[in-house]
Each structure stands twice: as structure tokens, then as C-alpha cells.
Structure 1
Amino acid sequence: MTSPISFSSVCYKLSDKEQLQGKGGADHKEGSLVLSWSERGCRAGSTFPCSLLPDSNSGPELVLSEEEQSDTEDKEEAELGAMDDQRSVILHLISQLKLGMDLTKVVLPTFILEKRSLLEMYADFMAHPDLLLAISAGVTPEERVISFVEYYLTAFHEGRKGTLAKKPYNPIIGETFHCSWEVPKDRVKSKRTSPHSISCHELPMADDPCKSYKLRFVAEQVSHHPPISCFYCECKEKRLCVNTHVWTKSKFMGMSVGVSMIGEGVLRLLDHGEEYVFTLPSAYARSILTVPWVELGGKVNISCAKTGYSATVTFHTKPFYGGKVHRVTAEVKHNPTNTIVCKAHGEWNGTLEFTYSNGETKVIDTTALPVYPKKLRPLEKQGPMESRNLWQEVTHYLRLGDIDAATEQKRRLEEKQRMEERKRETLRTPWRPKYFIPEGDGWVYFNPLWKTH
């Protein structure tokens, strides 16, 4: 674990020209910088924290909103079972594993990769940003915690396109991913009083930026051993932000692979002074020799110390004999009075039914919810350590079906990471992330909304 960065002692100054120009010489426009030092109200001559390392990790980058475009990349994965030659590779790999073995350092075959980084996969938690922003619209603490649970239960299905289980790229240390969403203001309402009625065929876009909220997202791989990913998103207009750190740990379970998501996230509603601490479920790849598929499992907790509300969400794994897949149940409780205010059950990638303490019910079909396309810059405007740019050659060859070339490109990236790690060990220079700093047992975005507003 790296030590905290001393921002007071490590600074540099931007000249007027540097301050007024973005990457590639683009003219700066007020409010156009996404998740950058400049966006926080700084002006020419201000001092900014920077990294101590003289390599590509040179501090936060300028990301221009005007350069972002709606993402049109197809994330569908071919629904194919394991081919005979691929199955032989998996069998050979399995023969060398033991039950419960940690797979963190095991090199898995390239053909099971998903053509995107884990950092980008985390952005799919925000695929329904209208539900996230609607949390702050709740009139009472009870409405807000229930809205958060409703959002949480719908946040997982978009991360899995189809039923085929594939593995996203393991992020390289220092890798980053930036994107944003625009949410029409008239879509953000309290879902208790305004049932969701938008067809999944509608495009939830606003023609006028002034009539939409902006939700911005940045993710970064801050550690290699253990493999810790962080992501942060914020909406300034709604005074809402989420800060999360996750450490993934994989283990071999016979014909399955289990991935534990160690860490936690915190949703902050600044207008209400509320913090919702939440954990994440484990994921399992089943039937890895035939047609592998993914299910979620385990019990997660959501709690707000200020209001005394908490929730328990249980992702149920399929029983060995019979039973349904992808089941989830949830219970929201007001701890001071020991009162259950909401119960939910259904499938996290299907239909969910909510029952409230007043007897009312609501059904949410996750497959009918509108998916808001994320916006990101084209490859030619991305930095060398941004996910899609970093992995573009691997992705290119996977799309062509050239597994050997994809494997070679992946090997080159991983070897470069090992060389740089050996260099840092020799120079005794610890890795300094761009956007996150260690705080307590976790990691926090360098300039979060709750410290600037």
C-alpha cells in the first residue's frame, strides 16, 4: 500500500497559456474540463498537486467535455460454447489448479477475455443514471434509502451482455477510464411517486444541455498487488457523488471460478448530509468447460448512520438441484424502531417487485429500463494509459478472432508493467496514482465534491 501524497509540498504552476489550453491545444471554455484540477474553480497561476514520478503518471489529465461523444461500441459477446481446442487448454489449466487456489497470479487463456477493461465494466453501474440522481429527490430519509436500494438492485444487469461468461481485462496499474452521462432533468423524479414509464426503445437524450444533468465518472487502477480499482462519479447540480474502492480476489472452485469484491463504496447526498455505505456481491463463472455463465452471490449491506436506515441484499446462487437463477431478495429497515419499511424480491437481471410498509407495491423490469449511453472521447484524443487506448490492439485482434496476435499484444502490455514495477523497486519510488489517495483502509478521490462544495 502506498503512502499518502503530501499535496502541500509537491506542486507546480500553470502559466496563462497552459491554463487556457487543453490537450492538443484546444481552447479552454468555462466549465468544459471534466474531473480535472482546473474544473474545480482554479485559474491561471494557481498551484496544483502533481505526481512525484517522472514517468507517464504525471498527475491528473485535462479531459474536455466538448470532445466526448456518445459511445456506439457494441458490447455483445458471441453466444458460443467452448470449442474443442479451447476446451483442451482449459482442461490443461484446470489440471494444474487446486480447489480454493487464488487465481490472481494465474495467466488465463486470451480467448476468454471480454474485449474491455474491468475499469470500464465498473462504469456500467451507472447505466441508469436517472435512478441514481432521483435518490436525492426523495422527500424523506425513508424514500431516499428505498430509492437507493431500487437503484442498487438495477445496477448489475447492464454489466452482463448476454449470458456468456467472459473475463474483462485485468487493469494495468495506472490505467484510467473517463466517461460521462447527460440525463434530461425531466427524467429525474422520485420513483415512489412517479412510476417509471419510459420505453426501452426511447433514447433518453436532451437536445439542450441546459435541460440536462451531467454525471461524470473516472476510474483508476491504483495498486497491482493487491489489484485495487477505484472509481468516482459526481453530479454537481444534484450535489451527489459516489466514491468506491474494490479489490478483486479470484479462486478456483472445480467447475467454477469465484470472484470476491472486497471493499466498499459511499454514496453522499450533500443536500441532506447523508452517507450511504455499501458493499458489493461476489461473482461466479459456472460451467467453465461447456457454456460458461455468470451469477452473483452473497449478502451485501447498505447503511446510513445519520438516518438509522439500513438494508440487507442477498444474491442467491442456484441450488445444485432445481431452483431459479439470478434470484435476489432485499429488506430495508429503520433500526431505531426495528421497523421493516420495504421488501423486494425477483431477479437482478429481470423483474423486481417491491413491497412498501404502507401496502403499496411496484414492479421494475430491468430489461425495459432505458440505458443511457455513456460519452467518452475518441481513441485519438485519449491518453496512453486510458483503457480503450491502452488495450486497443488486444481488442482489435480479439474482434478479428486472431487469438495468437491478441495474446502477444497482451503479453507486451503485461511485460511493460513488470519492467516498470522492477524499475520502481530499484529506485525505491512508490507508485503515485493520478486521481486517488489512500485514506484509512480505503482510497478517496483527490478532490471530491464533499470537500469542494
Structure 2
Amino acid sequence: MGNPKGLNKSNSQADIKSLNILHEGWVLKKKRKKMQGYAKRYLILTKEGILTYSISPDKPTRDSIEIPHASVISSQHHGTIHVDSGSSVFHLKMLNPQDFSAWRSQLKSFIPERSSGQARRIYVVTDDSTDLMSVDLNPLFTASDSMNRLVAEIKKQSALLARKRAEKGVTGEVLNMFSWKNEEAELNATLQTLIDSLAAEHANFQHVLESRVPRVFGGEGMMSSIKSRVQGDGRYAQSRHSISSFATNFEDDAIFYDADAADNTDIADEPETSSRDVSSAASDASASEEGDDDDSGDENATEKGVGNGKFRTRLPAKVSGDEVSLFSMLKKNVGKDLSTISFPVSFNCPLSLLQAAAEEYEYAPKLLERAGKTEDWIQRLCLVGAWAVSSYSSTKLRASRKPFNPLLGETFELYRNDGKLKFIAEKVVHQPPVVATYAEGNGWKAYGCNSVKNKFWGKSLELIPDGSLKVELADGDIFSFKKPSSFMRNLLAGNKYLEHVGELTVTNESTGARLAIDFKEGNMWGGSSSRNLVAGFVYNNKGEKVTEVKGRWSDNFAIQKDKENYQVLWEANEMPPNSQDHYGFTYFAMSLNEITKDMEPFLPCTDSRLRPDQRALEEGKVDEAEETKLAVEGAQRERRKKREAEGKVYKPLWFHKQNDDVEWQYGAPGGHEYFKKRAEVVDAGPKKAKDVWGDLPEIFTMQKS
């Protein structure tokens, strides 16, 4: 599509006047190299459906795409339009909402209408509207069908082999019978042939997938996301950009539909359209009209907007330290509580348990604020449930590394200046480890404590959550949670992965209504495509089923609106393309241990960001991290011995218990609250911050060797 209708880069936009211009104007176009941002470009759409751009109306055409043969995706909320021909991609951002509406309307006129005969086409929508993309998936389904037949035949041959073994009495050792050996060898050869054929079909399937599904959001990241959602039975699952319609009759656990998609209406309760993203992009556009799209960017750029600040998008160093067998450590400590064992630093990732608790709040501001605004009790319950499910999404690429066990008295704050999220966590009990948390946003607050018990099952380690968590909305509705267990799989051999299995129950304590979500266990034959599924039901206060929910804890969560339509309540952000090199962290996780210049003067000396062994590991200094970890933990033991010798009882800084209550309450005795104190510190300024914090314990001091 790079040279439609005889156009080439020598054509100026003036030459295109003869092609009957339908629409034209200035837009922002993303440059081709990563991290370069947007630049102002002149866009022209002809009546033949040819879209071209150049630096200015009198400059040569840079590239062109035939819209009838391309995929087009738009987002009204972000003011963006993405056009992909397969060979060229235009990432466009409009200068204002009026331009967005005009361009979208014109482009949409060239997209073929859906028909009943298009049984295997998808139409992709954005967060806020049914929109423009149509992709023919017939070749994809053909390739998938071939794989499905091979998988079925492999299952059949495997069952036959197992039955033959049972008939011959072979239960683990092959009998020395010539006829049986020949028969078994023949069956094994058949299986191997089928497996080889399956591998070849998979390669073909992958090729078809990459050639048919457009790479509209940045290369490998989007493609890997799409691949992960194509199920083993050949059906296309919910993508991050919401598949709005599948004109087929089959059903599948992983296929979602946006409510009211057929009517091109917006999803209920979605935020109103805002031009904030458009205007901010305009201010960031290149000042030079002559800038080339192929200009080399800054390879060292590491910032990404998160909240109201700019945070890094990768850690200072990649995964550090040799991976040690967790199985070997567990084998040596059978029957012991793992929280009492000091693991080598190579078992850790550079986050503390306090920061891991903060990870659960990545999607809380949007989901819980929406829950507080809606008066529909079902929608409210499901939005709170969507947040509960979303809290697991950051773990999808985590395997065997665990967060640092915080020191007693260690704290972590997460404070976004836009006021949509304030979070504080503190290690309040050393053995067994208990972390107390409190968070608040616009119209909601969440509080509770958590601890983890564990069981070693030979091939896997079960992590059993023990604690309480509640969400309180501004009108008084309170929701409590019961969480499922997590399993670290394949400790003995194979690819390690984390899986959450069991029931997550969200109960509205004010009404008795509840949402029961089953975190399903993956199966042997389904492989990774069968993992991470969740499904459940909403029950009213009489215990009657009201509606259904389903999704994947790693990707999305949706509520059933009618027999065929589901409304997507939450979708996970894209993982960083370099996530595997950085402990499987999300962008949000990568920001948690960063100390930015604006926060540095005001952090209390107990904050996890200041822990030296964790900082050393993050920077790739494994030996220093190991040595420092031993010294920091040794100093903690000395403080505990001294406290016990003096008959003193440790009192947390920012949480307390009332009488014999099992739950930890936010605020220290006497009414001292962390965020009130923090406000005083900020008002006092950097030079007086330490004095205002007062006499906080220096918990990160190290024991002298």
C-alpha cells in the first residue's frame, strides 16, 4: 500500500489536488522511531480513499495509504486515530475534538459495512466507542482449524497408548515382550509425527496471524498481546482494544462483547471525552516543521508519564544475580514457615512487600471512583470486583522471585499529586509478617492488613492470603474481600509461572449482595491459553443469581448485559516490551522504587525506597546487596533483643488496634495520621522536613561487622 494510484514520495501535496481532495488539515503524527513523540504534519484524504501526509502543503508527500484496504482504529477519549496498511502505519493525534470528529467521520466512510456473510471478521473498538477496524480472519481460522484437528488426533493417540499399556499391565516399566515393544514403538512414532506436524502448523498459524492482524499499537508489544488472546480452539479472545462484534454463533469463555456495541454507543459510565491529552500532545510536538520522521531519538530516554509525574520505563539494571533453585531451598526447610527463613538476595526482586501491596492499586482510582458515582448496585459491585481482579494483573510475568520482606517499622507511601491516590503501608508485626495498608481517592478509601501463609506441595508452592481488606465508598457502602490462593508452579522442572486459583468473594456489607468470582486452574492440554480465566456470578441479598461476569485476571474483566453482550469494565495496560528483562515489572511497578527529585526531600527515613540492599539489587550490585541485606537484618535482630531485654512492646508508627480487634486501623494512637503529618512536612519545606517528621527510627542502619 506504500504507492497507491501511482503516488510516490516525489509527489507534492499540490500534485494531489488533481485527485479530488475530500478532507485536509494539520494533525500531529507520531514519528517512526521510539521515544520521538509527535510532530505537526499536513494530512490529505482524497475521494478515492487515499490518505497522504507531508511536512507542509507545499512539501513532497512522505507516505500514503489506501483506506479501503487498511485497518483504522480511533479513540475519542485520547483524540487519536491509527491507520495501518500492513506496510505503513500512521499514528495520528488530532489538535482538537472537532478535528477528531471530522477526520473520523471521513475515514469511516471508506470502511466496508458488516454483512451477515462476514462470519469471520472482527471489528475492534476503543475504550469509548465502536469504531473503524475490520480484519478478515478466515485464513487465521483455517490455520487454527488444522492445529485443532492435530491436537485432537494427538489426544486420541495418547489415550490409545494409555489404554494399550493398561491392557498389557504396563504401569511404569515396559514389559520385555517383542510384540508389545513393536506396537508401542509404532504408537510413539505416530505421536511424534503428529507433534512434528503440529509444530509446522503452529509456524503457519503464527505467520498468518502476523500478516492478517494489524500491528496498530507499536510492533511486538501489540502483536504479542494479540497472540496471547488467540485461544487453542481457534477463537479470537478479547483484545486490549475490545473486540466489539463477532458475527459467529459459537461461544467461548474468552470472547467478550462491549455492551451496546451494535448501536455505536459509548460504554456506560465511561469518562466524558476530554481534549486534555490532545492539547498536551500539541505542546509536545516538534517545534521544527522540517524535522524528519526518521530522526534518531534519544536512546537513553527513560521517562514515561505516570499520574502527574514522569517516571522511568526501565530499571537501572536488568535482572541480576544467578537464579537459585527455590525447590532446593524448600527441600532443606520442609515444614518451616518460609517467612522465618533468610533467603539469598538472588531470590528477591527489587521491591518490598509494602510496594507489592501498592501495586494492587494501579487501577483503583478509575474503577473505585466510578463505583462511587454509579447508583446501580450491580454495576457498583462489579466495578469493585473489577478492581479486585485487576490487583492480580501485575503478577502475570512473575515467576520465582519474591519481594523483600520489610523490616519492622518499614513504610511505603504512594502519593499522586492529582489527589486521585494516596497510599501508605507499614510492617506492623514481624512474626508472622503483617502489613497494614490504607489508601484513599476521590469518593473512596480502602484499608486492611495482609499476611501470607504457605504450603509446599512438591512441584508447587501455595501462598495462602490471611488478612482483611475493605473498600468504603463516600455514601457509606462497605465492601469486604476474601481472596484466593496463589501457586508458584513448576518448581521442580519446566517453565515457572504464577497462578491464582480459588474463589474471590466481594461482599457488600451494607446490603448482603455479593460477587463470587472463580479463578480457574489451567489444564494440561490447554497450556498457557487455558490459564488466568475468571468467571462468576452476582448474587442479590436473597442469594439469587442476577448476572454473570468473566474475563482473565491478567487482561480484562467484563459484566454480562444481555444474552450476547458483555460490557468490559477493566482492561490491563500493555506490558513494557522489556518487562522480562526487568523482573516482569509493569510500568507502574518500575516507578515504585524510584526516588524523583520532587519527593526526595520529604520521604521519611523508614520508606522502602531508602532501603540500601534493595537499592543495590535494583542497580545490579548483587554482592553488595547480599552483604548489605545481612547487615540490615542483623541490626534488626539486635534492636529486637534490646527491646525484649528492656521489656518494651513495639508500637507501629501509623496504625493501631482498638481493644482486641483483629483489624489494624489507620492512624496512630492520639490521632496522628500519616498524610496529615506529610502535609505538615511539605508545608515546612525541604530544610525542615526531617525535624517535622520527628524522631523516626533509623531502621536501615547496618550492623557493624
TM-score (norm 2): 0.45
2:422 to 203, 213, 216: 216
CA contact (8 A) 1:76 1:162 kept: no
Structure 1 residue 157, shift from structure 2 partner? 0.8
CA contact (8 A) 1:340 1:357 kept: no
Q: Deviations over 1:184-225 (max 9, x none)?
A: xxxxxxxxxxxxxxxxxxxxxxxxxxxx54321100000001
Q: Which amino acid aligns with 2:489?
A: R
Distance 1:353 1:269, change over 3 A: closer
Report the Cα distance in structure 1 between the residues aligned to 2:369 and 2:348, rounded to whole angstroms.
32
Distance 1:448 1:282, change over 3 A: farther
Say which structure, 1 or 2, has more relative contact order (CA 8 Å, 6+ apart): 1
Distance 1:165 1:70, change over 3 A: farther
Counterpart of 2:614?
394
Counterpart of 1:442?
663
Counterpart of 2:650?
431
CA contact (8 A) 2:315 2:618 kept: no
Structure 1 residue 103, shift from structure 2 partner? 1.5
Counterpart of 1:120?
355
Report the Cα distance in structure 2 between the residues aligned to 1:234 and 1:251, rounded to whole angstroms.
33
Q: How many residues align?
A: 342
Counterpart of 2:376?
140
Report the Cα distance in structure 1 between the residues aligned to 2:630 and 2:319, rounded to whole angstroms.
26
CA contact (8 A) 1:313 1:331 kept: yes
Structure 1 residue 253, shift from structure 2 partner? 2.2
Report the Cα distance in structure 1 between the residues aligned to 2:329 and 2:458, rounded to whole angstroms.
12
Report the Cα distance in structure 2 between the residues aligned to 1:180 and 1:116, rounded to whole angstroms.
17
Distance 1:320 1:413, change over 3 A: farther
Counterpart of 1:332?
538
Q: Which amino acid aligns with 1:326?
A: N
1:292 to 491, 496, 513: 496
Q: Does 1:341 align with 2:553?
A: no
| The structure with more radius of gyration | 2
Between 373-382 and 316-325, report the one with greater CA deviation: 373-382
Distance 1:245 1:95, change over 3 A: closer
1:350 to 548, 552, 555: 555
- SS of the counterpart of 1:317? coil
Structure 1 residue 344, shift from structure 2 partner? 1.7
Distance 1:71 1:118, change over 3 A: farther
Q: Deviations over 1:215-239 (max 9, x none)?
A: 211000000012100110112xx33
TM-score (norm 1): 0.67
Report the Cα distance in structure 1 between the residues aligned to 2:316 and 2:518, rounded to whole angstroms.
28
Distance 1:339 1:347, change over 3 A: same
Report the Cα distance in structure 1 between the residues aligned to 2:416 and 2:396, rounded to whole angstroms.
20
Distance 1:304 1:76, change over 3 A: farther
Q: Which amino acid aligns with 1:142?
A: I
Report the Cα distance in structure 2 between the residues aligned to 1:310 and 1:220, rounded to whole angstroms.
30
Counterpart of 1:250?
454
Q: Give aligned-pair identity as a percent.
A: 22
Q: Deviations over 1:240-267 (max 9, x none)?
A: 1100100112232223222111011111
5+ long unaligned stretches in structure 1: 1-67, 183-211
- SS of the counterpart of 1:330? strand
Q: Does 1:276 align with 2:466?
A: no
Structure 1 residue 298, shift from structure 2 partner? 2.1
Distance 1:379 1:166, change over 3 A: farther
Report the Cα distance in structure 2 between the residues aligned to 1:172 and 1:399, rounded to whole angstroms.
21
5+ long unaligned stretches in structure 2: 1-307, 576-585, 677-705
Report the Cα distance in structure 2 between the residues aligned to 1:161 and 1:75, rounded to whole angstroms.
18
- SS of the counterpart of 2:630? helix
Q: Deviations over 1:368-403 (max 9, x none)?
A: 59977779764454222110102x343324532x43
Q: Does 1:416 align with 2:635?
A: yes
| Aligned Cα root-mean-square deviation (Å) | 3.2
Q: Deviations over 1:409-451 (max 9, x none)?
A: 11111111111111111111111111111131111101699xx
Q: Which amino acid aligns with 1:327?
A: L
1:74 to 314, 322, 325: 314
